[in-house]
């Protein structure tokens, strides 16, 4: 004769159910840990990129606070170096702003450093629109908004007093 069974006995003993619950909690904890590691790695990578840009700016003050007319007059090599400098700067800002989306100081720092490069970006965008397309949509919008805010427009692309 079979004994009456409780509803939970169909799913195993209490020990088996407790073991399954602990395993599920462990799995969820691992998922949280993986997400935290990913976030920390992204932040470390962004800090490293921005630190690289800061070092580059320290070593090249003529590019960090450029006289764009003088750079254009200096010749092709200096123009290519300057373009690479700006490209590195935009990459570092893109990484930092993305990794630290909730921290306004990163955006403010990038805004401050972007302003002297607006004449170059204006001319570059007018001559080669594909240049800005190499950046994410947020970065493209940030640059376009900064150009508009500073009233830097083609054909002269001059930085006014704002």
100-110 per-position pLDDT tens digit:
888 889 999 99
53: which residues sit within 8 A by CB, 6+ positions away? 88, 89, 91, 92, 93
Q: Can you give the residue range of the structural domain that contains 93? A: 34-150
What does the pLDDT read at residue 33?
A: 84
pLDDT digit string, tens, across residues 44-65: 888 899 999 999 999 999 999 9
Residue 80 in domain: yes
4 pLDDT more than 50: yes
Residue 91 lies in a domain: yes
User: Domains in the chain: how many in total?
Assistant: 1
Cα separation, 48 vs 22, in Å, equals 38
Q: How many CB atoms lie within 10 A of CB 66?
A: 19
Q: Is residue 22 part of a domain?
A: no
- Does residue 127 lie within any of the structural domains? yes
Question: How many other C-beta atoms are found inside a 10 Å radius of the C-beta of residue 119?
Answer: 22
Please say if the pLDDT value at position 3 is more than 70: no
- Whether 2 maps to a domain, the answer reads no
Total-model pTM = 0.77
């Amino acid at each position: 004769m079979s004994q009456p069974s409780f509803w939970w006995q169909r799913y195993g003993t209490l020990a088996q159910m407790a073991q399954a619950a602990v395993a599920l909690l462990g799995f969820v904890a691992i998922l949280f840990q993986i997400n935290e590691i990913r976030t920390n790695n992204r932040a470390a990578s962004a800090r490293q990129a921005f630190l690289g840009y800061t070092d580059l700016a320290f070593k090249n003050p003529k590019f960090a606070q450029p006289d764009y007319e003088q750079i254009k007059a200096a010749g092709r090599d200096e123009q290519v170096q300057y373009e690479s400098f700006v490209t590195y700067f935009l990459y570092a800002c893109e990484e930092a702003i993305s990794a630290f989306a909730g921290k306004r100081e990163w955006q403010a720092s990038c805004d401050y450093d972007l302003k002297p490069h607006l004449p170059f970006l204006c001319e570059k965008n007018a001559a080669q629109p594909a240049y800005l397309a190499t950046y994410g949509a947020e970065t493209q919008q940030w640059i376009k908004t900064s150009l508009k805010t500073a009233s830097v427009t083609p054909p002269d692309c001059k930085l006014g007093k704002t």
